[in-house]
């Protein structure tokens, strides 16, 4: 079935009152809008689906408020809609509430029943979740910062579980293959999360990164999770875009330079696998939940050759890493 045929099928099912189709179509119209009208139509479909008792629709409304993709970012309203989603029986929302409230989510314990949704919502400390740790200045040229205990372990586990079934061979990007290609220079696996993949835990991670990098949310590319088995690596490379390359220059004209990179270590039961900066003869590693933030450009905003870096291979165990690139200009919703 082609994309157009699938869209027409969804429209027909939504018109007949199928609230699952209404949810799917509403999310699609908001995630890939063709006009302001399509966004309005998407919001109306989500409201109708919620009124019909669809918890998935309520969760996406929570994502809308938490991301600020339509209007102001509002965490309190986002959590209210996540609680509604959980109370309607949408299990991913209930699991997120349990994690955000630091409550156990296991069969037979509190946090495993839709009736727990309001109590879990009331337990969540929004200010605490948005509070960031002190930074450590590791290097000034290039600028490299470290944040210990940046993420709670339960957030790390959530991201690993979310990424594991979607992993695929990571790709490299250059002027001749802007869509990416497999390369011996990069042998690890990765997964990229687009707008339809967002949930409140992922958005909270992005919000915390925006605070330490002091940038708006809309400057962030799709978040990624990377996985390295023993021997897998990402050889020395730059994260900035090279304006001398035609494809990079065109990308920069649209969305700006890739100013900074944030790496969050999601586990620590491995050996080796540091993030290496060969130009300054340094390599760094964080404990589980720790974050490494480094600029890809110098103080004048020009590409900084000293930011050459590599993901070294684990010698024992497997490494999980959350990666966030930050642009100088706004990105599409």
- Let me know whether 152 and 294 are in one domain: yes
Which one of 128, 161, 191 terminates a domain? 128
The reply to whether 38 falls in a domain is: yes
Owning domain of residue 97: 3-128
- Let me know whether 121 and 142 are in one domain: no
- Let me know whether 318 and 260 are in one domain: yes
The reply to whether 73 falls in a domain is: yes
Reduced to 3 states, what is the DSSP secondary structure of residue 232? coil
Reduced to 3 states, what is the DSSP secondary structure of residue 47? helix
Work out how many domains the chain is built from and give that number: 2
Cα–Cα–Cα angle for 31, 37, 40, nearest 5°?
65
- Let me know whether 205 and 122 are in one domain: no
Give, for all 333 residues of the chain, the pLDDT tens digit: 677 788 889 889 999 999 999 999 999 999 888 887 989 999 999 999 999 999 999 999 999 999 988 888 999 999 999 999 999 999 999 999 999 999 876 654 555 678 889 999 999 999 999 999 999 999 999 999 999 999 999 999 999 999 999 999 987 776 655 566 777 889 999 999 999 999 999 999 999 999 999 999 999 999 999 999 999 999 999 999 999 999 899 999 999 999 999 999 999 999 999 999 999 999 999 999 999 999 999 999 999 999 999 999 999 999 999 999 999 988 865
Residue 93 CA to residue 81 CA, distance in Å, equals: 9
- Let me know whether 150 and 123 are in one domain: no
The reply to whether 193 falls in a domain is: yes
Q: Per the confidence metrics, is the pTM higher than 0.85?
A: yes
- Let me know whether 154 and 42 are in one domain: no
- Let me know whether 113 and 235 are in one domain: no
Beta strands, E only, the chain: 136-140, 143-147, 168-169, 172-174, 177-181, 189-193, 223-228, 234-237, 258-265, 270-272, 275-277, 282-284, 291-295, 309-311, 314-317, 319-327
- Let me know whether 149 and 282 are in one domain: yes
> What CATH number has the domain bearing residue 118?
1.25.40.10
| Cβ contact 322:224 at 8 Å | yes
The reply to whether 332 falls in a domain is: no
The reply to whether 171 falls in a domain is: yes
| Cβ contact 312:275 at 8 Å | yes
- Let me know whether 215 and 317 are in one domain: yes
- If phi > 0 it is left, if psi is from -120 to 50 it is alpha, else beta; for residue 251 that is alpha
- Let me know whether 185 and 301 are in one domain: yes
- DSSP result, 160-221: HHHHGGG-EE--EEETTEEEEE-BTTB--EEEEE-GGG--HHHHHHHHHHHHHHT--GGGB-
């Amino acid at each position: 079935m082609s994309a157009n045929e699938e869209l027409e099928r969804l429209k027909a099912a939504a018109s007949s009152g199928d609230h699952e189709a209404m949810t799917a179509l509403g999310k699609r119209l908001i995630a890939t809008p063709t006009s302001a009208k399509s966004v309005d139509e998407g919001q109306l479909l989500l409201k109708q689906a919620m009124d019909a008792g669809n918890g998935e629709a309520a969760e996406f409304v929570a994502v809308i408020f938490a991301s600020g993709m339509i209007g102001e970012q509002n965490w309190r309203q986002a959590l209210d809609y996540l609680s509604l989603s959980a109370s309607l029986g949408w299990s991913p929302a209930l699991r997120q509430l349990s994690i955000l409230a630091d409550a156990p989510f296991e069969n037979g314990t509190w946090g495993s029943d839709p009736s727990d949704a309001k109590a879990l919502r009331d337990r969540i400390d929004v200010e605490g979740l948005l509070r960031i740790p002190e930074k450590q200045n590791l290097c000034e040229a290039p600028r490299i910062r470290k944040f210990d205990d940046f993420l709670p372990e339960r957030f790390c586990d959530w991201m690993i579980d979310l990424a594991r079934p979607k992993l695929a061979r990571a790709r490299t990007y250059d002027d001749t293959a802007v869509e990416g290609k497999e390369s011996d220079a990069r042998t690890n696996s990765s997964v990229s999360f687009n707008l339809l993949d967002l949930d409140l835990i992922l958005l909270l991670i992005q919000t915390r990164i925006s605070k330490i990098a002091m940038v708006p949310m809309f400057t962030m590319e799709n978040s990624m999770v990377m996985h390295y088995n023993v021997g897998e690596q990402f050889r020395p490379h730059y994260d900035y875009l090279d304006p001398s390359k035609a494809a990079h220059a065109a990308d920069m004209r649209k969305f700006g330079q890739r100013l900074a990179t944030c790496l969050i270590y999601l586990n620590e039961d491995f050996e080796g696998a540091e993030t290496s900066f060969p130009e300054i003869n340094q390599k760094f590693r964080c404990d589980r939940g720790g974050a490494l933030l480094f600029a890809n450009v110098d103080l004048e905003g020009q590409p900084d050759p000293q930011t050459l870096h590599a993901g070294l291979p684990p010698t024992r165990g497997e490494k999980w890493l959350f990666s966030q690139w930050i642009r100088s200009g706004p990105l599409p919703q």
